[in-house]
Amino acid sequence: MTTMSKGILGGVVARGAGLAALLALSLTSVSAATLKVWHHGGRGDGESANVAAQIEAWNKANPDMTAELVQLPEGAYNEQVQAAALAGSLPDLLDFDGPNYANYVWSGYLAPLDGLIDPAVTANLLPSIVSQGTYAPDGKLYAVGQFDSGLALWASKSLLEKAGVRIPTGLADAWTLAEFEDALAKLKAAGVEYPLDLKLNYGKGEWYTYGFSPIVQSFGGDLIDRTTWKAEGTLNSEGSVKALTALQGWVKAGYVVPASAGDDAFYGKKSAAISLVGHWQYGAHTAALGDDLLLLPMPKFGDKAVTGQGSWAWGIPAAGANKEAAGKLLSFLMNDENVLSITKQNGAVPGTKSAAAAADLFKPGGALALYVEQLNAIAVPRPAHPGYPVITAAFAQAVDDVVNGADPKAALDTAAAAIDEDIAANSGYPPFAKE
SS3 303: coil
For 62-113, the pLDDT digits (tens) are 999 999 999 988 778 888 888 998 899 999 999 998 888 999 999 999 999 9
**Distances from the Cα of 51 to the Cαs of 46, 54, 145, 340, 435, in angstroms?**
9, 5, 13, 12, 44
Beta bridge partners of 379: 307
Residue 94 CB coordination number (10 Å): 27
Contact 398, 211 (CB under 8 A): no
Determine the average pLDDT of the residues in 222-247: 97
What pLDDT does 434 receive?
Answer: 67
Determine the average pLDDT of the residues in 196-214: 96
Residue 174 lies in a domain: no
Going by C-alpha positions, the residue among 265, 264, 263 that lies closest to residue 255 is 265
CATH number at residue 103: 3.40.190.10
Contacts of 330 (CB under 8 A, 6+ apart): 93, 113, 116, 117, 121, 144, 314, 316
Residue 163 lies in a domain: no
Q: Which amino acid is at 428?
A: G
Residue 105 lies in a domain: yes
Q: Residue 173 pLDDT more than 50? A: yes
Residue 129 lies in a domain: yes
**What gap in Å lies between CA 185 and CA 169, rounded to an integer?**
21
- What is 170-222 written as a DSSP string? SGGGPPBHHHHHHHHHHHHHTT-SEEEE--GGG-SSHHHHHHHHHHHHHTT--
Q: Residue 421 pLDDT more than 80? A: yes
Q: Residue 299 pLDDT more than 80? A: yes
Determine the average pLDDT of the residues in 137-162: 97
Residue 167 lies in a domain: no
Which residue segment(s) compose the domain that 23 sits in? 7-148+311-377
**Strand intervals (E) in 241-381:** 272-278, 293-296, 312-317, 349-350
Contact 146, 343 (CB under 8 A): yes
**What gap in Å lies between CA 118 and CA 113, rounded to an integer?**
9
Contact 342, 352 (CB under 8 A): no
| Rounded-to-5 percentages of helix, strand, coil across the chain | 50, 15, 35
Residue 191 lies in a domain: no
Query: pTM here?
Result: 0.88
What pLDDT does 33 receive?
Answer: 67
What pLDDT does 273 receive?
Answer: 98
What pLDDT does 3 receive?
Answer: 32
Q: Which ranges constitute the DSSP H helices of 27-87? A: 47-61, 77-87
- Number of structural domains found in the chain: 1
Q: Strands 194-197 and 272-278, how do they pair?
A: parallel
Residue 291 lies in a domain: no
Residue 391 lies in a domain: no
What are residue 39's phi and psi, to 5 degrees?
-140, 145
346 falls in which pLDDT band (50, 70, 90)? Answer: confident
Q: Residue 374 pLDDT more than 60? A: yes
435 falls in which pLDDT band (50, 70, 90)? Answer: low
Contact 332, 338 (CB under 8 A): yes
**What gap in Å lies between CA 152 and CA 154, rounded to an integer?**
7
Going by C-alpha positions, the residue among 424, 423, 435, 434 that lies closest to residue 103 is 423
